A and B are shown apart, each in its own frame.
Chain A
Amino acid sequence: MSALTVAYALLFYAATAILVLGVLARCWRYARTPQPLKIPIPPAPTTRGGVALRMLLEVTLFRQLFRSSKWTWLFGWMFHVALLLVLLRHLRYFTEPVWFWVDLVQPFGLYAAFAMLAGLAGLWARRLLVDRVRYISSPSDHLMLALLAAIAASGLAMKYLAHTDVVALKAFFLGLMAFDWQPLPADPALLVHLALVATLMIVFPVSKLLHAPGVFFSPSLNQVDDARERRHAAGWSAKIVHVSRARGG
């Protein structure tokens, strides 16, 4: 077993643990923190079902973003959908036999990598060229785009420039999952790709990538507009007590 294999195996165990535990811890904190007052924003549904639909449209179509900025929506949506397809395509390295629908996604996943890069390029261009967006950008905002672009580029490099041994790679990941380590192919593009992906997994729970779980906990989006019909109370507002007085008393 090479030192490289050991290093990457440990890296991926650590990255997975940090990603999963970090995001779970954050979700746990969100779930546990009370929202004392009702603050839904319109168009606020008046039923739970309505909220579910709103959330679905928000996370699949980015409805509010569509209203506010068509270019950001176009590039952002393109990037996210492409990323999803690419991730689904990558399931083939973690499943044996490969699930049939992963095979169906496979051809789209390839084009998606280009769409992902195009989306990132568009978002980055906005960040650099629009004075308002440039003003609000921190170094971390640029680094995040660089990281994602480098992941996509190194992935494409393996497909089109320097093929890697995907069979051995799959054996490596299946081995990791079964705690039966297998050697990792020592191709530079692959090593770069994997290191960047692990970096992304590690920074996820301490970065703005928390918007992914955060959107589901956002009270302005997930609250039902029924303040008059149902008395809402949580946190400090649940501790309110009135000296009750009988009617007419």
Chain B
Amino acid sequence: MAAFETPPLGEYPVTPPLRQGAMAHSKPFVAKADHQKPLGFPGELVPDWEKVAVARLGELVSQSRGLQVFLDSCVKCGACTDKCHYYLGTGDPKNMPVARQDLLRSVYRRYYTFAGKHFPKLVGARDMTREVLDDWYAYFHQCSQCRRCSVFCPYGIDTAEVSMAARDVMDSVGLGQKYSNEIIGKVHKIGNNLGLPGPALRDTLDGLEEDVKEATGVDVRFPLDEKGAEVLLITPSADFFAEPHIDGLIGYAKVFHAAGISWTLSTHASEAANFSLFIGNHDNLQKVAGRIREAALELGVKRIVVGECGHAWRVAYSFWNTLIGPFDFLDPRYPAPQHICEVTWDLIQRGALTLDKSGNAGKVVTFHDSCNVSRASRMGGAPGGQFTIPREIIRACVERFVDMAPETVGEATFCCGGGGGLLTDDLVELRVKGALPRMQALQQVVEEHGVNYLAAICAICKSQFTKVLPYYKHPMDMIGSVHGLVSNAIVLGSSK
């Protein structure tokens, strides 16, 4: 891996000039046959792959109105060109959303539109060649599918849909990305991204019970596969092991404990993440999600609650009802999956939790809106709940909360730089550079308000920031879970 320089943080954000080919070398490791086969993809580049790719693209377009409209409607107005964090961090023009779309649009035009078939040069249509495929592999793995550009597009053109389609086409000809595909394979085989089997999971949870007992003197349970529990908690498997994720898991357990809600995890569905979203493959998307329906029915739970994970919440909020619904087997009072923040905020409002801010003394907290939560889901009953609810929870737990600049939070939030299947060490240069806009906004509140804690509700964001914060001269433990803050503040009753 080539050495690279961390982009400098200026006094204010700047849109960089074009640096053609600046990131052409950035490509993730290619999936081996062992990673491809379990997902139903060819193990290596198939013969006649050009034809197969074009045919698959046609199939995808015919199956998705969105994709069709997005490919036809772009007028190249340029509104999106300065909105992508990867463009802002690298200056590579192919990281401008419209240029990224055009990598695929040019092929769509060549084979599926009148103008592209007859006047390819005029409309920028291109044959499907090895060079094009290489461009796809490089630059469709420089999109975190965060949808920031689509919020600024006058037609709502969603680059995430285009990048998912491109990855699906690449998988279908045998050119997959190792990181995502290997992980999806683990979920199919074992039930979670980490490949953590049931006994190891039980062991980890036992350890957590002991830790919490030691720290608080209270017997907070971390149940696994308990039939008849009220709540099935579906959380990213990073919550079982990684820092600072694990503090979030402890926070959820304490919330359930304090509210007297019985809950359980499931070995069969021990993963909220669904990386099939990133590779745009709906067979795998459905199969991974299916485990959750199976576990919920098997355990006979009344509610499903999802832990802190951005894209998982997108899949749960936006797609589960379609993929694994209807949820007619759940308690009619909680007929749909809920986010852990919805549960906690509801309990706080009802006075069911006692929170002591001194548990977070000295922390000046800001909140990173995760892209999938912000732009592909909602919380609570009203629009914008995905922004207000986590902030209300934080405010209830800490003495001082400060928001980052308005154009970098809420709907316009910047991706952490590691979403969409890019959270892998073979893309670390991209991840560091893509974090630039967020780091810029963070730097400002650090300098002006003394912010020393960055809270998030996404496993990928947490891992990404742990990795990139030191590149920007911040301590890696500055990033934490929202429910880590809850965990510190919550006052539990005396031990049994």
A residues whose Cβ falls under 8 Å from a Cβ of B: 26, 29-30, 33-39, 41-46, 58, 62, 64-65, 67-69, 72, 76, 123, 126-127, 130-133, 135-141, 143, 206-208, 210-211, 214-215, 217-221, 225, 227-233, 235-237, 240, 242, 245, 247-249
**Which residues of chain B have C-beta atoms less than 8 A from A37's C-beta?**
318-319, 322
**Which residues of chain B have C-beta atoms less than 8 A from A227's C-beta?**
317-319, 321-322
In the complex, 7 of the A-B residue pairs with CB atoms within 8 angstroms, ordered by the A residue number, are A43-B383, A72-B77, A136-B76, A211-B72, A215-B73, A218-B156, A233-B322
Do A240 and B155 contact each other (CB < 8 Å), given the known contacts A41-B375, A138-B123, A220-B66?
no
- Having A206-B115, A214-B73, one finds 20 other A-B pairs with CB under 8 Å, namely A33-B63, A34-B65, A37-B318, A39-B376, A42-B375, A42-B383, A69-B78, A135-B18, A136-B81, A136-B96, A206-B113, A207-B123, A211-B72, A218-B66, A218-B157, A219-B65, A219-B156, A221-B155, A225-B378, A240-B323
**Which residues of chain B have C-beta atoms less than 8 A from A207's C-beta?**
115, 123
B73 and A35 contact, CB distance less than 8 A: no
B:82-96 near A, CB below 8 Å: 82-83, 93, 96
B4 at interface, CB cutoff 8 A: no
CB distance from A163 to the nearest CB of B (A): 35
Say which residue of A72, A140, A240 sits within 8 Å of B123 (CB atoms).
Answer: A140
Interface stretch (choices B146-154, B239-247, B394-402, B462-470): B146-154
A133 and B78 contact, CB distance less than 8 A: yes
Say which residue of B96, B161, B411 sits within 8 Å of A135 (CB atoms).
Answer: B96
A72 and B157 contact, CB distance less than 8 A: no
Query: Within the assembled complex, what's the spacing in Å between the Cα atoms of A245 and B99?
Result: 48
B55 at interface, CB cutoff 8 A: no
CB distance from B66 to the nearest CB of A (A): 4
Most chain A CB atoms below 10 A, which of B113, B150, B324: B150
A210 and B63 contact, CB distance less than 8 A: no
**Which residues of chain B have C-beta atoms less than 8 A from A69's C-beta?**
77-79, 152
The residue on B at minimum CB distance from A45 is B383
What 0/1 readout, one digit per residue, does chain B (332-359) give for beta carbons within 8 Å of chain A? Answer: 0000110000000000000000000000
**Which residues of chain B have C-beta atoms less than 8 A from A67's C-beta?**
151-152
**Which residues of chain B have C-beta atoms less than 8 A from A127's C-beta?**
76, 78
B78 and A141 contact, CB distance less than 8 A: no
CB distance from B167 to the nearest CB of A (A): 16
The residue on B at minimum CB distance from A230 is B321
**Which residues of chain A have C-beta atoms less than 8 A from B96's C-beta?**
132, 135-136
B319 and A38 contact, CB distance less than 8 A: yes
B151 and A64 contact, CB distance less than 8 A: yes
The residue on A at minimum CB distance from B283 is A236
B72 and A210 contact, CB distance less than 8 A: yes
**Which residues of chain B have C-beta atoms less than 8 A from A30's C-beta?**
65, 68-69
CB distance from A18 to the nearest CB of B (A): 11
CB distance from B341 to the nearest CB of A (A): 15
What 0/1 readout, one digit per residue, does chain B (88-131) give for beta carbons within 8 Å of chain A? Answer: 00000100101100100000000001110001011110000000
Query: Within the assembled complex, what's the spacing in Å between the Cα atoms of A38 and B322?
Result: 9
Query: Within the assembled complex, what's the spacing in Å between the Cα atoms of A135 and B91?
Result: 12
B317 and A141 contact, CB distance less than 8 A: no
**Which residues of chain A have C-beta atoms less than 8 A from B171's C-beta?**
none
The residue on A at minimum CB distance from B228 is A248
**Which residues of chain A have C-beta atoms less than 8 A from B156's C-beta?**
41, 64, 215, 218-221
B76 and A141 contact, CB distance less than 8 A: yes
B68 and A208 contact, CB distance less than 8 A: no
A231 and B325 contact, CB distance less than 8 A: yes
**Which residues of chain B have C-beta atoms less than 8 A from A137's C-beta?**
76
B322 and A232 contact, CB distance less than 8 A: yes
A133 and B76 contact, CB distance less than 8 A: yes
B329 at interface, CB cutoff 8 A: yes
CB distance from B89 to the nearest CB of A (A): 15
**Which residues of chain A have C-beta atoms less than 8 A from B79's C-beta?**
64-65, 68-69, 72
**Which residues of chain B have C-beta atoms less than 8 A from A41's C-beta?**
147, 150-151, 156, 158, 375-376
CB distance from A136 to the nearest CB of B (A): 5
Query: Within the assembled complex, what's the spacing in Å between the Cα atoms of A143 and B79?
Result: 20
Query: Within the assembled complex, what's the spacing in Å between the Cα atoms of A138 and B78?
Result: 12
Query: Within the assembled complex, what's the spacing in Å between the Cα atoms of A206 and B99?
Result: 20
B64 at interface, CB cutoff 8 A: yes
CB distance from A212 to the nearest CB of B (A): 9
A136 and B317 contact, CB distance less than 8 A: no
Query: Within the assembled complex, what's the spacing in Å between the Cα atoms of A248 and B228?
Result: 9
A240 and B322 contact, CB distance less than 8 A: yes
Query: Within the assembled complex, what's the spacing in Å between the Cα atoms of A72 and B76?
Result: 11
Query: Within the assembled complex, what's the spacing in Å between the Cα atoms of A196 and B117?
Result: 23
The residue on A at minimum CB distance from B315 is A37
Say which residue of B68, B124, B329 sits within 8 Å of A29 (CB atoms).
Answer: B68
B154 and A58 contact, CB distance less than 8 A: yes
B293 at interface, CB cutoff 8 A: yes
**Which residues of chain B have C-beta atoms less than 8 A from A214's C-beta?**
69, 72-73, 155
